[in-house]
Structure 1
């Protein structure tokens, strides 16, 4: 079977990094988006023929279309899109600033939507393809202090479930992945806490502090093992091949 082309956002660390490594080892082609190319210099060196890094901020919609078009032009199409980039925002709803709300909606929701919209014409023309959307168990349940994170995850899941029904007749499949807590930079690196209001001291909205405290250890999930649980393309043959 010929290698497939995967476009994966956010491959500098976490799930995106582990998935990219596993796919490259399996002989697949990976175009990985990053904010800093030096973060994946080792992948480019180890896999010069099958890995390509693209600089992308998923909030930049014109650049999203450029990256998608360039990937499709270079490799003759895109077999799988993996929307992985995003981050968390924690705090009570009234503690968030307007800028913080915009900052989480843009990558977690709008950016994912625009990437999916950008790849669909290429997959539809090919008559095959798969969209993999990284969500979270937080796309099914809600906890205090996580309202905007939940809003973006519930939102992107609703979008994907609707789109899945629209594109199935074209041979395109959609998969939502909902991992639990994992040992990635999400909690102790990229997560952004809002400035606390004194009125919320002792409130359940601040329970996230214990989760973000490195002294309490990392999340139990192994991101490398979790990445292996993302369905293998062999299981998607009907959606990826005519």
Structure 2
């Protein structure tokens, strides 16, 4: 097993925390970013300088570039960059405030874009590396009441899918990770509800999202530790898998969504070609 150095955003909880714990336990180094440094005191005390930490809000673009550049300067080579930090904003689109919309897009989409933009000159200079982008099955499938969350994740998937093609000539692999529900603190700590509840949506699919998020008896099937292990193991694969689907619910949702979309496209084959200019034109 090759020992590596990892840069991971949002290491204080969820998948970021699980990955960090597993990587440090096996002897790797981790450069982790958090909003609250004290949340990592236990791991810092246990692993010392193998855990490099910096305070970072991924909506702060100048700070992203400063922190990423400092991590490469202090640690020399970073093998894997993991865009993990993010959260979910839920509710019907018109229930969301303008500030909530901007913050969701800045955190889940613009932040990861800027993290990678800051890291790319270093990765190219060192001759390669690997990038993991934490999406969700919601980057391929949708549910009512999560329009802005889906917008951020679909945008992320489009960016990283395209960027994988840009970076292949430099030996930099890109993997989009699409986990299903996992028993992390997502609902209690990383999910927000629209600030202006609209009674018009009561009893509709969009309105039901509030009930689902607040129902503590609904436990996801996903084991976050196993998912983190799968993310780590994916770095050993060459070439990098373009997408990593984790969880039976994720597989089912993505398979259903892609099948339905493909059927809709195939049904329009003739009408699509009818708008072409004649071959002799």
TM-score by structure 2 length? 0.82
Q: Does 1:68 align with 2:83?
A: no
SS of corresponding position for 1:33:
strand
**Equivalent residue number for residue 222 of structure 1:** 223
RMSD: 1.5
- Can you give the 5+ residue segments of structure 2 that lack an aligned partner in the other structure? 241-281
Q: CA deviation at 1:211?
A: 2.2
Please tell me whether the aligned partners of residues 173 and 239 of structure 2 are also in contact (alpha carbons under 8 angstroms).
no
Q: Distance in 2 between matches of 1:234 and 1:227?
A: 12
| Compared CA separation, residues 222 and 238, structure 1 to 2 (3 A) | closer
Deviates more, 1:100-109 or 1:210-219: 210-219
**Equivalent residue number for residue 87 of structure 2:** 87
Q: Distance in 1 between matches of 2:238 and 2:201?
A: 51
| Compared CA separation, residues 231 and 42, structure 1 to 2 (3 A) | closer
Q: CA deviation at 1:157?
A: 0.4
**Equivalent residue number for residue 35 of structure 1:** 35
Q: CA deviation at 1:189?
A: 1.8
TM-score by structure 1 length? 0.94
| Structure 1 runs (4+) greater than 4 angstroms displaced | 236-239
Q: CA deviation at 1:38?
A: 1.0
Q: CA deviation at 1:153?
A: 0.3
Q: CA deviation at 1:2?
A: 6.1
SS of corresponding position for 1:141:
coil
SS of corresponding position for 1:181:
coil
**Equivalent residue number for residue 262 of structure 2:** none
The count of aligned residue pairs is: 239
Q: Deviations over 1:105-141 (max 9, x none)?
A: 0110000000011101100111111110000000010
